Amino acid sequence: MTASTKNLGDFFYRTLAGVAIGASMLLTCAVSQLPEGADRGEFMVFGLGAVLTVLASALVLRAAYASGFSKALSIAASEPNRCVTA
């Protein structure tokens, strides 16, 4: 599978932006089909809150993944290779 960009970080952020735009558009279309009233506004607010929560979670997981991977590499590189055979 090849990405459209050479840097996979760019691909992640482009995909994240696409999800943010697409989810907001779909939510707006769904809300426009509801009848007028307080439920319509609440649905929009809670829907946008859910989209924001998903996007923030994706960014936090991406940062934790990058941080953890670099720490694991530094730990593996700093310890000497002590192979013990029986």
Q: pTM for the complete prediction? A: 0.63
Closest CA to 53 of 29, 12, 19: 19
Q: How far apart are CA 69 and CA 12, in angstroms?
A: 17
Q: What is the pLDDT of residues 12-27, one digit of tens each?
A: 888 888 999 999 899 9
Q: Residues 55, 19: contact at Cβ < 8 Å?
A: yes
Q: Mean pLDDT throughout 80-86?
A: 65
**What's the pLDDT score for residue 60?**
84
Q: What is the pLDDT of residues 25-53, one digit of tens each?
A: 999 898 888 888 878 888 888 999 999 99
